[in-house]
Amino acid sequence: MDFYQIKGKNPLSGMLTVHGAKNSVLPILAATLLASGQSTLYNCPELTDVSITMDILRELGCQVRREGSTLVVDASQPTSAQIPHHLMQEMRSSIVFLGALLSRMGEGQLSYPGGCELGPRPIDLHLSSLRALGAEIKEQQGMLIAKGGNLVGKDIFLSIPSVGATQNLMLAACGAVGTTTIVGAAKEPEIIELQTVLQKMGAKVWGAGSSVIQIEGGYPLHGIEHHIQGDRIVAATYLCAVAACGGDVTVQGVSTQYMGAVLDGLERAGCHLQMGQKQVRLQSGGKLQGISMVRTAPYPGFPTDAQAIFMAALSGGTGTTMFEENLFDSRYRHVDELSRMGANIQVSGRVAVVTGRELHGAQVNGTDLRGAAALVVAALSAQGESQVTGLHHIRRGYERLEQALRGLGASIALVQRT
């Protein structure tokens, strides 16, 4: 099994450019299915989740090729509406294809997406919303069999601002006759970017970024060119690493306007930030101070995806921080592994209380994407050597993480075990 060999306490310095956002490129690849033509996407990171999504498009009859960080998708003649089980199981967020399939093909068959390391991942809002547009969706033997050639726009209320359900609805509504209004929509930057891509395709969509999004469906959609925005969670990861290790790093290629909650937390923990529109310079002495409370919440609140990473950075500092994880039921699985490095973290339900103290190296195992990244951040700031396993999780969301960190002066090596 591959692992990272990390020697902690190197201060980090230099500059890096963040790769394209995983949580933008995945729904946007689903959106290319709506366009009868060729779409070109720039700044697409080489991640396993992106490769899986490319394979799904190929299974549907699209031509897909990668040229460096550019993806070219030709969805002129899709030949299937069925996503094979093994691809659905590898990546539950493929559920967003259901809306795209209903919109383009009038039908879709895919297996029920399993839960994941974060606990149960219900899709009730996806299904109830699509059914409200007129889709007939049967759940049988773990499969979702959807029919929906005559979707009709409706007012849809989302009881939770679900990112995936909002995206699914936007894609399905493009193929519905009339206007769909989503009330209680997610406001994430990735939703705004999906709207931008759909508008480029010729769709009539507006309101993304607010809690009310409107889509007037029925317009023929054509291929587009688009540059994927930088990944705000990957940016947060690098910033937390330098915050925890100490140093002076400039992260560029990401809209700082979308990182407010994380940047505020880092500043309150003692970092010095200089911000531009698309870059942020962080200077840190390496010992973060506790900031009393961090509550995760839908955008623009503190992102759940940055919770583990920020917790790791604070664990090796001083003072106390209480975390409250409000999005997922089981997103503290990194805590046991951080404790093996000496972290003092007490968990009770949704709350985790971190009391900062010196961390020491250990053998630790990542069990989910952001939890594994958090262990890397902790190991970089710990005294001594660490081995971090579970790298397949990291490869889902971070492109060449060890190379980027080495470029900043970290002592990290990928050890490949046969």
Could you say whether residue 180 binds ligand EPZ (CB under 6 A)?
Answer: no
DSSP one-letter code for 149: T
Say how far apart CA 352 and CA 315 lie, in whole Å: 11
Tokens 């101070």, residue? Answer: 289
CB burial of residue 394 (10 Å; 0-12, 13-18, 19+): buried
Whether the CB-CB separation of 381 and 245 falls below 8 Å is answered with: yes
Cis? peptide before 122, omega within 30° of 0: no
Could you say whether residue 94 binds ligand EPZ (CB under 6 A)?
Answer: no
If the CB atoms of residues 74 and 305 are measured against ligand EPZ, the closer one turns out to be 305
Element (H, E) at 378: helix 369-381
Could you say whether residue 401 binds ligand EPZ (CB under 6 A)?
Answer: no
Could you say whether residue 123 binds ligand EPZ (CB under 6 A)?
Answer: yes
Could you say whether residue 125 binds ligand EPZ (CB under 6 A)?
Answer: yes
Whether the CB-CB separation of 319 and 356 falls below 8 Å is answered with: yes
Whether the CB-CB separation of 213 and 181 falls below 8 Å is answered with: yes
Q: What residues from 143 to 162 belong to the interface with ligand EPZ (CB under 6 A)? A: 160, 162
Of 116, 174, 245, 271, which one is the catalytic site residue? 116
Question: Cα-Cα-Cα-Cα dihedral of 27, 24, 200, 127, to 10°?
Answer: 30
Instruction: Compute the least distance from the CB of residue 414 to ligand EPZ, in Å.
Output: 21
Annotate 247-295 with DSSP letters as a single string. Answer: EEEEEESS-GGG-HHHHHHHHHTT-EEEE-SSEEEEEE-S-PBP-EEEE
Query: Using CB under 6 A as the criterion, what x/- string covers residues 338-377 for binding ligand EPZ?
Result: -------------------------------xx-------
Say how far apart CA 175 and CA 46 lie, in whole Å: 30
Could you say whether residue 113 binds ligand EPZ (CB under 6 A)?
Answer: no
Say how far apart CA 387 and CA 380 lie, in whole Å: 11
Residue 187's identity, in one-letter code, is K
Whether the CB-CB separation of 75 and 32 falls below 8 Å is answered with: yes
Query: Using CB under 6 A as the criterion, what x/- string covers residues 9-28 for binding ligand EPZ?
Result: -------------xx--x--
Could you say whether residue 139 binds ligand EPZ (CB under 6 A)?
Answer: no
Catalytic annotation on 116?
Answer: yes
Say how far apart CA 135 and CA 97 lie, in whole Å: 14
Could you say whether residue 126 binds ligand EPZ (CB under 6 A)?
Answer: yes
Could you say whether residue 328 binds ligand EPZ (CB under 6 A)?
Answer: yes
Instruction: Compute the least distance from the CB of residue 113 to ligand EPZ, in Å.
Output: 9
Q: What residues from 223 to 282 belong to the interface with ligand EPZ (CB under 6 A)? A: none
**From candidates 16, 64, 163, 372, binder to ligand EPZ by CB under 6 A:** 163
Q: What residues from 56 to 75 belong to the interface with ligand EPZ (CB under 6 A)? A: none
**Phi then psi dihedrals of residue 172, to 5 deg:** -65, -40
**From candidates 14, 114, 115, 122, binder to ligand EPZ by CB under 6 A:** 122
Instruction: Compute the least distance from the CB of residue 309 to ligand EPZ, in Å.
Output: 10
Stretch that binds ligand EPZ, among 51-59, 148-156, 163-171, 351-359 (CB under 6 A): 163-171
For the annotated catalytic residues, the residue numbers are 116
- Binding residues for ligand EPZ (CB under 6 A): 22-23, 26, 93, 121-126, 160, 162-165, 186, 304-305, 327-328, 369-370, 397
